């Protein structure tokens, strides 16, 4: 047996010897679908068990066309939605027998080197949380030659999968909720102006509003989804127009910032004086301190779909990327005044 760092590693050879079969036979019993007679299978299995054998995934990967490693490429966790999405993703990957390898791109560091380092391990797929990533990193992923599943951001090419929440639907859901409960002067607080998601959520909101004869009163893009941005946006927006009675934010963290600014600085009560809606439905939204009525991005459904696509890409043949929109859900809590 191979001796590595004080640990004896059991190999196919050891198991073959103990079971009295060839190494091929051992390999086959650990390869689902490979031909092995019940007898040898049993002897191999018992030998393997006795020795504590598990196939070396590295060696196996070297001869196969896949590694079962999936890279998850992310920016910084500057928004509670990201760890939330990330958590759902890793759980689903595990369920699908994949191991997630994490690539975080630092805004200060090299935007592509970490991606290459993951590629060195021949990851099967790059799952890219593109929303929070520098353009160069996104480009590196697309050009990597490895299947890419892009989350929350559309891209110029049509060679990668794109999965997005149905942002127009989300905007419409927010608009309907606010209008149906009698709000009249509405505003939208977006994140980054040049990100599709923020734009689409705003469009969906405005279009639905227009359809109900209630033009949008104010709209501001604050560059990011952060709490801080929401805080500042609320202050400047409500100073400009004190009659606003409902705000839809493009993310929950923006909404939290808006709520705190409104309560602490403007002395308004939520939802009596002003209603606030968010988008994401991170766990914090349910905290009684916020009780945020929001539009849920169904992270589990997104993760499920990602897993489906990983499986799709893993079988050889002609491949067509897709652009998939995942329906959003209205979650009613206490931050919107009722009728």
Partner DNA sequence: CTGAAAGCGCTTACAG
Binding of a second copy at residue 157 (CB under 8 A)? Answer: no
Q: Under the criterion CB under 8 A, does residue 225 sit at the interface with a second copy?
A: no
Q: Does 267 bind a second copy (CB under 8 A)?
A: no
- Choice between 267 and 316, CB closer to DNA: 316
Residue labelled with tokens 């054998």: 53
Asked if 31 is part of the footprint of DNA (rule: CB under 7 A), the reply reads yes
- Residue closest to 183 by CA, chosen among 195, 174, 191, 196: 174
What are the DSSP E strand ranges found in the chain? 2-4, 7-9, 69-74, 99-104, 125-129, 148-151, 161-165, 186-190, 218-221, 246-249, 275-280, 293-296, 323-326, 329-331
**Which CB atom, from 9 or from 199, has the smaller least distance to DNA?**
9
How many Cβ atoms are within 10 Å of 303's Cβ, its own excluded?
24
| Residue 235 three-state SS | helix
**Taking the CA atoms of the chain, what radius of gyration do you get in angstroms?**
25
With CB under 7 A as the contact rule, the residue among 5, 7, 17, 30 that binds DNA is: 30
When binding is defined by CB under 7 A, the residue of 64, 157, 184, 300 that contacts DNA is: 64
Nearest approach, Cβ of residue 225 and a second copy (Å):
13
Report the residue number, 144 or 275, with the smaller CB distance to a second copy: 144
User: Nearer Cβ to a second copy, position 4 or 38?
Assistant: 4
Stretch near DNA under the rule CB under 7 A, chosen from 30-38, 106-114, 255-263, 298-306: 30-38
Determine the Cα angle at 56 with ends 52 and 62, to 5°. Answer: 165
**The residue count for the chain:** 339
260 is an interface residue for a second copy by CB under 8 A: yes
Among 1, 34, 57, 240, binds a second copy (CB under 8 A): 57
Q: Token pair of 329, please?
A: 């859900």
Residue 63 within binding range of DNA, rule CB under 7 A: yes
Binding characters for DNA, 292-311, by CB under 7 A (x = yes) = --------------------
- Output the DSSP codes for 244-287: --EEEESSHHHHHHHHHHHHHTS---TTTT-EEEEEE--GGGGS
Stretch that binds a second copy, among 32-40, 118-126, 170-178, 190-198 (CB under 8 A): 118-126
Residues 58-97 contacting a second copy, CB under 8 A: 58-59, 61-62, 65, 67, 69, 72, 76-77, 80, 82-84, 86-87, 90-91, 94-95, 97
How far is residue 154's CA from residue 157's CA, in Å, rounded to a whole number?
9
The answer to whether the bond into 195 is cis (omega within 30° of 0) is: no
Of 332, 199, 180, 178, which is closest to residue 247 (Cα–Cα)? 178
Q: Least distance (Å) from DNA to the CB of residue 124?
A: 15
Helix axis angle, 227-240 to 252-264, nearest 10°: 50
| Contacts with DNA, residue ranges (CB under 7 A) | 2, 4, 9, 11-13, 21-28, 30-31, 34-37, 39-41, 53-56, 59-60, 62-64
| Contacts with a second copy, residue ranges (CB under 8 A) | 4-7, 54-59, 61-62, 65, 67, 69, 72, 76-77, 80, 82-84, 86-87, 90-91, 94-95, 97, 99-104, 106, 109, 114, 116-122, 145-146, 227, 231, 256-257, 259-261, 263-264, 284, 287-289, 316
């Amino acid at each position: 047996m191979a001796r590595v760092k004080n640990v004896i590693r059991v190999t196919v050879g050891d198991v073959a010897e103990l079971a009295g079969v060839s190494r091929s036979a051992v390999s086959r019993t650990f390869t689902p679908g490979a031909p092995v007679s019940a007898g040898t299978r049993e002897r191999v299995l018992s030998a393997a068990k006795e020795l504590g054998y598990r196939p070396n995934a590295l060696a196996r990967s070297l001869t196969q066309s896949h590694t079962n490693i999936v890279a998850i490429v992310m920016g910084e966790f500057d928004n509670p939605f990201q760890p939330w999405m990330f958590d759902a993703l890793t759980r689903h990957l595990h369920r699908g027998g994949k191991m997630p390898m994490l690539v975080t791109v630092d805004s200060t560091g090299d935007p592509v080197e970490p991606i290459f380092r993951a590629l060195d391990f021949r990851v099967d797929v790059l799952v890219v949380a593109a929303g929070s990533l520098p353009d160069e990193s996104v480009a590196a992923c697309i050009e990597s030659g490895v299947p890419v599943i892009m989350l929350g951001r559309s891209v110029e090419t049509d060679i990668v999968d794109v999965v997005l929440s149905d942002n127009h639907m989300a905007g419409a859901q927010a608009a309907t909720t606010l209008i149906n409960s009698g709000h009249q002067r509405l505003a939208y607080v977006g994140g980054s102006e040049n990100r599709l998601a923020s734009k689409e959520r705003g469009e969906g909101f405005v279009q639905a509003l227009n359809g109900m004869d209630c033009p949008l009163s104010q709209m501001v893009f604050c560059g990011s989804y952060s709490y801080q941005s929401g805080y500042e946006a609320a202050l400047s927006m409500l100073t400009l127009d004190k009659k606003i009675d409902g705000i839809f934010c493009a993310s929950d963290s923006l909404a939290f910032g808006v709520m705190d600014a409104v309560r602490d600085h403007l002395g308004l009560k939520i939802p009596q004086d002003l209603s606030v809606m968010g988008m994401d439905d991170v766990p914090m939204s349910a905290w009684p301190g916020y009780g945020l009525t929001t539009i849920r991005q169904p992270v589990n459904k997104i993760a499920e779909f990602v897993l489906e696509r990983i499986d799709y890409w893993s079988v050889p043949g002609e491949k067509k990327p897709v652009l998939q929109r995942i329906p959003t859900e209205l979650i009613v809590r206490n931050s919107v005044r009722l009728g």
